[in-house]
Amino acid sequence: MNAQTLTYREALRAGIEQALEDDERVFLMGEDVGRYGGCYAVSKGLFDYYGEQRIIDTPLCESGFVGVGIGAALGGLRPIVEVMTVNFSLLAMDQIVNSAATLRHMSGGQFNIPVVIRMACGAGRQLAAQHSHSWENFYAHIPGLKVLSPATHTDARHMLGQALEDPDPVIIFEHVMLLNENGEVSESPEADMESALVRRQGDDVTLITYGGCLHKALTAANKLAELNISAEVVDLRCLRPLDTDTFLGSVEKTHRAIIIDEGWKTCGLAGEISAIIMEQGFWFLDAPVKRLCTAEVPIPYPSHLEQAALPQVKQIVEMAQAIMEGR
């Protein structure tokens, strides 16, 4: 398979371009996505090529334009709605949770909502507490939604296409720290969008993670190899529905699990995964499940405090060493 090297941002743009090319019902809508090229420059250049009918700048009103997107999907179009960051999506939460997620159920299956909502997420760029949070777990909580977290460049390139094919609302989280990173992009998707993938094989401990923490987990796994600890890394990819078979299969092999999640620990995704392991994988465990999450504070602005709050490679390594020693 031919692979090309792109930045994560370019991979996202290539995904949008292909969607626009493949299906004339597809259009992109959001704050500053058109003339400005997107707050994170993901849609740069698309307005000039596709024009204002298909690349639509919206007013600063998340509830309004996400609602328009849902209506357009109801009406037969295939909207891609960009919400600048997950932090602002709270203003559109009623539309997403009360409308998009429920209408298929409430119409007795008569109406699907094939809308795709993209939003940036994550901390690390010193954007302070109102622009840096990880609320994937809010949306992963909601029946009726599908929630994707592309952590690799190939997933950034191809998950949008997979999401548009789905008849139900799909949320895609794009981690801001990945945008400038270069990486290889395969010509076709590595798996269907709902499958988790083992990104690195190992025997001793399973590191379960997604999104912005995948790279940290892989780096930690390499360091652990030098310490004779063989770590397996599972990339969840899809946060709702969770591909439990993949991480349970890994835990069955390694007997130990650490979940690395940029969200907060309390009521978060890491707790959910831990509970699934307890319910379905308990008899495979040789050590208590561990969680490494962001410190329970609003994300700080100063760089050193921001980094101190987030899960880091060193902590993953130390946690894996501890779990191997039975601590």
Whose Cβ is closer to another protein: residue 63's or residue 230's? 230
Smallest separation (angstroms) from another protein to the CB of 276: 15
The 3-state DSSP class for residue 92 equals helix
Active-site annotation holds for 62: yes
124 φψ region: left (φ > 0), alpha (ψ -120 to 50), beta (else): left
**Helices of type H across 166-227:** 214-226
Place of tokens 């912005």: 212
Q: Which listed range, 17-25, 52-60, 80-88, 282-290, lies at the site for another protein (CB under 8 A)?
A: 282-290
301 near another protein (CB under 8 A): no
Q: At what angle do helices 8-22 and 153-165 cross, to 10 degrees?
A: 30
286 near another protein (CB under 8 A): yes
327 near another protein (CB under 8 A): yes
Phi (first) and psi of residue 30, to 5 degrees: 165, 180
Q: What CA–CA distances, in Å, run from 251 to 171, 177, 209, 240?
A: 28, 29, 13, 20
Q: From the candidates 10, 31, 62, 272, which is the catalytic residue? A: 62
The 3-state DSSP class for residue 116 equals strand
Whose Cβ is closer to another protein: residue 310's or residue 320's? 320
Smallest separation (angstroms) from another protein to the CB of 289: 11
223 near another protein (CB under 8 A): no
Count CB-CB contacts under 10 A for residue 318. 14
| Of 36, 49, 111, 282, the one binding another protein by CB under 8 A | 282
Q: Which listed range, 26-34, 105-113, 180-188, 281-289, lies at the site for another protein (CB under 8 A)?
A: 281-289
Cβ-in-10-Å burial (0-12, 13-18, 19+) of 143 comes to exposed
The structure tokens listed for 177 are 């720290």
Smallest separation (angstroms) from another protein to the CB of 317: 13
| Of 192, 203, 245, 296, the one binding another protein by CB under 8 A | 203
Residues in contact with another protein by the rule CB under 8 A = 203, 255, 282-287, 326-327
Supply the residues annotated as catalytic. Answer: 62, 131
